Structure 1
Amino acid sequence: MKKVKSSSIFGTIKEPHTIIIARGDAIRHFSVKPWAALLGGTLALGFAGTYILATSYLVFRDDLITGSVARQARIQQAYEDRIAALRTQLDRVTSRQLLDRKLMEGKVAELVQRQKRLSEQHQKLAPMLERASSTLPAEAATDLAMDNDSDNVVRSDDSDTFYGIDPIITGPTTTQKPVPLDDKTKATVKKAALLDSVDHSLAAIETRQTHRMQALSNSAYETADKILDALAPTGIKRTATDEKAGAGGPLILASLNPVSPFDTKLADLNDALQRLEGAKALAKAVPIANPAPGMPVSSTFGMRKDPLIGMMAFHSGMDFRATSGASVLATANGTVTAAEYTGGYGNMVEIDHGNGLATRYGHMSQILVKAGQHVKLGDVLGKVGSTGRSTGPHLHYEVRRNGNPVDPVSFLAIGRKVKAEL
């Protein structure tokens, strides 16, 4: 055999490796090159490694798949839990918004209903206030006008903000500059605050209406009582002929149609005004006014020295010194029963005021009324003169009760006492 030189890697081999295979009588042999042995070993190791890896994969594959599936399931469950939490939070926010919206709509509807009710109440109250302003004394009427002027309207620069309450119903309501609508939370809070402000304003207006009606009722009752108490010494009582406002209508029992506190107060105010109007009408039918305002009294009622004959005589009236041609005024409402020249009275006017009361105006230079004519308090009856049994221009004035002369001074004193109430 030849000597084979080996590569520098494996060193020098003098003889090649020989593999001998014997099978019966047959013998085979072949030489193995170093590179062939290296290749074969490498392939064997590779095959062994591949086999081990494949075997390991087959052994651990189920565990890997199970772990991966479990991990994916945990991730999916976490996502689902997060989505469920977000949905719950969204539902909660949506429900809250719907609830806030319903509450807001309900509040607005309630305010609109209250505004409507207050507007209806004002329509009922307006004519009563007009009556009160013309019936009550000037001071109370002035207070009423000042109270009505204080009403105002709720205003807002935000077109999307609730406003527009009727100026008759609402009072002054302080509002701030509305926030931009892009900030929903602040806008909601702002609208809620405005609604609360309007609610408080409506409640204040309603309370003020009630208190005002109560105050007017008290004032009317007090004024009426003051007039009636002042008229008591005259012996005059209210009769069915007094001027009263008409009343009537279908019968509706309170149990079937409950009366609101406002209607109760309004009815009480109406009764008070009717009482006051009746008292004033009664006072205007009693001769308590001055027939010659600003003129001095020259002779009083009762015994005096007669100016013509100088003897003591009974003077049935009182004399007012006045210039010729001055106006003579009716001292109360009534009907003229005489307007003619009457003996010592000269040109005389007699007025029947009812309740047994009558007045006489004598010595006039001119008569401007006629018998049967209805006159009112303050109407001009004629002009001052000196006709009849007279020494000069003056007005002879008498007050008679049931045909008998009474001192006019007591009636004039009553007139001065209740003048402010009339």
Structure 2
Amino acid sequence: MSVTEYRQASAFGKRREPHTVIIARGDDIRHFTIRPWLAAFVGSVLAAMAIGYLLATSYLVLRDDLLGATAARQARMQQAYEDRISMLRAQVDRITSRQILDQQLVESKVSELLARQSQLTQRHGRIGPILDRVKGEAGGLPESAPLPASKPELRAANQPVIYADSSAASFWSKRPAPSGPETAADRADRLFVAINQSLRAIESEQMDGIGTLTENAFKTADEIASALEAAGLPVDIDTDDEAVGGPLLPIDAGMIFEARVRELDEALEKLETLKAIAKEMPIHNPAPGKPVTSSFGVRRDPIIKRPAMHAGIDFRAPTGTEIKSAGAGKVIKAGWNGGYGRMVEIDHGNGLTTRYAHMSRIRVSQGDTVDTGDVVGEAGSTGRSTGPHLHYEVRRNGTAIDPLRFLKAGKAIGKLL
């Protein structure tokens, strides 16, 4: 050891001595001197070996746990992925099923709407000819009789819906609004409801229109029949409900419509028959617009100035005024007839005849068939007459009756014909 090293070691108060290892075996004694650096090196190696051994042991012990934890984590992740895939697949299945159901529902609703629209179109075709008849008879129906629409038309989706019944309107007014945004299915559903209600409104309008027309047709026919019967004219139309019957069977909407249409057809047929009868009967004015100067019955004779029977009524008419037939019939006399002068007599059937006398000119011949309003001659003053006029008579089975009754009936129903 050098002096400097000795001084440095003594500075710390003690002297470093090398380690000596003595090994004795019998008489053989050996000793080794271990330097400090060698001891430190050996200790370091041993410590490293111990740490390595501990680390290796820990790794071997924990490796299985780490591998198990990793495998479990991977298994959990795989299970989570599989669950997520299953959930998405189920959601896709639900959406697909809902779309299929919505499509089927839409198709069924469309089919139903098309069927109802087709039914309304068929009904329109069924009542079309009847409506043409009604329009032809519109002049004889009261103004309050509305005609149904010529063709059923659907309301647009953006137009307000007119509900056919209050229950449907109450249901949709109280229906809660959707919590989320309105979907295409909701809009389609509302559109279907609107179209359905529109079809119901059209159907209701058709039924109401048919009912109103039927009621007015029967009412008009009854008025014509009552006027004719009040005038003493025969009206032979069988409308009694006697001697009828049958089992009571339930009916559906289609049968109700057919029954209403059939009833309207019967009403129009009755009205047309009565109109045809009324137009042919001698109830029309033979000298329209001309005043009556002498009525039917006992009067002061204008020539002998004494009371005498007057078998008709006189119309003041200038010579040459056209005289028209009061009804349809056949001319049975046309020529000079004593005090009647130039006279035409027409047979209207059922024992009724009319006479047109004192004419200046006859414009028909015996055996001719005339219609109501046909000109039969011209007014004059032939025969037993004091001036130009028309002497008009109505006879039943040869007996003169008051023509004024017939003229009043014709005036009463004239606006209905």
Q: TM > 0.5 between the two?
A: yes
SS at match of 2:146: helix
1:158-197 matches, cutoff 5 A: 185-197=182-194
Question: Which stretch shows the higher mean deviation, 335-344 or 320-329?
Answer: 335-344
* Residues 180-233 of structure 1, C-alpha deviations (whole Å, 9 max, x = no match): xxx994443233222211111110110111111111111111111121122223
CA contact (8 A) 2:380 2:390 kept: yes
Q: 1:231 aligns with which of 214, 228, 231?
A: 228
TM-score, scaled relative to structure 2: 0.80
C-alpha contact 1:336 1:375 (8 A) present in aligned 2: yes
Name stretches of at least 5 consecutive residues in structure 1 with no aligned partner: 158-182, 243-253
Give the whole-Å Cα distance in 2 for the aligned partners of 1:150 and 1:139.
21
Query: Is 1:367 aligned with 2:367?
Result: no
Count of residue correspondences: 382
CA RMSD of aligned residues (A): 3.4
Distance 1:188 1:148 in 2: 32
**3-state SS, counterpart of residue 336 of structure 1:** strand
In structure 2, which of residues 390, 393, 405 is the aligned counterpart of residue 410 of structure 1? 405
8 Å Cα contact 2:334/2:364 also seen in 1: yes
Alignment partners' CA distance in 2, 1:199 and 1:59: 78
Equivalent-residue separation in structure 1 for 2:63 and 2:355 (angstroms): 137
Q: In the alignment, is the contact (CA less than 8 A) between 1:295 and 1:322 conserved in 2? A: yes
- AA paired with 1:274? E
2:190, 2:341 → 1: CA distance?
A: 80
Q: Give the distance between the partners of 2:140 and 2:387, measured in 1 at CA.
A: 40
1:32 corresponds in structure 2 to 34
229-238 vs 281-290, which deviates more? 229-238
SS in structure 2 at match of 1:144: coil
What is the identity, as a one-letter code, of the residue corresponding to 1:100?
D
Contact between 1:347 and 1:365, CA under 8 Å: does it hold in 2?
yes
- Displacement after TM superposition at 1:17 (Å): 3.1
Rounded to whole Å, the distance in 2 between the matches of 1:37 and 1:372 is 169
Aligned-residue identity in percent: 46
**Residue aligning to 1:144:** 146
* Distance in 1 of aligned mates of 2:320 and 2:360: 7
What does residue 178 of structure 1 align with? none
Q: How high is the TM-score relative to the length of structure 1?
A: 0.79
Q: Cα–Cα, structure 1 residues 405 and 22, in superposed 2: closer, same or farther, change >3 Å?
A: same
2:68 counterpart (66, 69, 72): 66
Alignment counterpart, residue 344 of structure 1, candidates 319, 322, 339? 339
| Alpha-carbon offset, residue 290 of structure 1 | 1.2
SS in 1 for 2:357: strand
Q: Equivalents in 2 of 1:418, 1:116: separation in Å?
A: 41
The offset of 1:105, in angstroms, is 2.0
Contact 1:134–1:141 (CA under 8 A) maintained in structure 2: no
Partner of 2:83: 81
* Counterpart amino acid of residue 227 in structure 2: A
Q: 1:77-98 CA distances to partner (integer Å, 9 max, x unpaired)? A: 2333333333333333332233
Matched, 1:384 2:386: no
* Aligned partners of 2:334 and 2:342 also within 8 Å: yes
CA–CA distance in 1 between the matches of 2:145 and 2:37?
129
Give the direction of change, closer, same or farther, for the CA distance of 1:112–1:346 in structure 2 (3 Å limit).
Answer: same
The CA distance in 1 between the partners of 2:255 and 2:355, in whole Å, is: 52
Partner of 1:246: none
Structure 1 residues 44-85: Cα deviation after superposition (integer angstroms, max 9, x where no partner): 112111212222222233333223322332333233333333
Aligned partner letter, 1:148: A
Report Cα offsets for 1:145-179 as digits up to 9, x if no partner.
5x53897553469xxxxxxxxxxxxxxxxxxxxxx
User: How far has the Cα of 1:127 moved from its partner?
Assistant: 1.4
**Correspondence for 1:57:** 59
Q: Residues 368, 38 of structure 1: CA spacing in aligned structure 2 closer, same or farther, 3 A cutoff?
A: farther
Match of 2:172 in 1: none
Amino acid at match of 2:205: R
Q: Partners in 1 of 2:233 and 2:31 — Cα distance?
A: 168
SS at match of 1:289: coil
User: 2:354, 2:393 within 8 Å by CA — same for their partners in 1?
Assistant: yes
Q: Give the conservation status (yes or no) of the 8 Å contact 1:4–1:16.
A: no
* Residues 332-357 of structure 1: CA deviation (Å, up to 9, x unaligned): 22222233333322222222211111
Q: Decide which moves more: 214-223 or 32-41.
A: 32-41
> Are 1:312 and 2:314 counterparts?
no
* Aligned counterpart, 2:175: none
Q: Distance in 2 between matches of 1:149 and 1:125?
A: 10
Separation in 2, partners of 1:212, 1:310: 62
1:319 CA drift (Å):
0.6
Q: Please give the alpha-carbon distance, in whole angstroms, between the structure 2 residues aligned to 1:389 and 1:23.
A: 199
- 1:229, 1:22 → 2: CA distance? 165
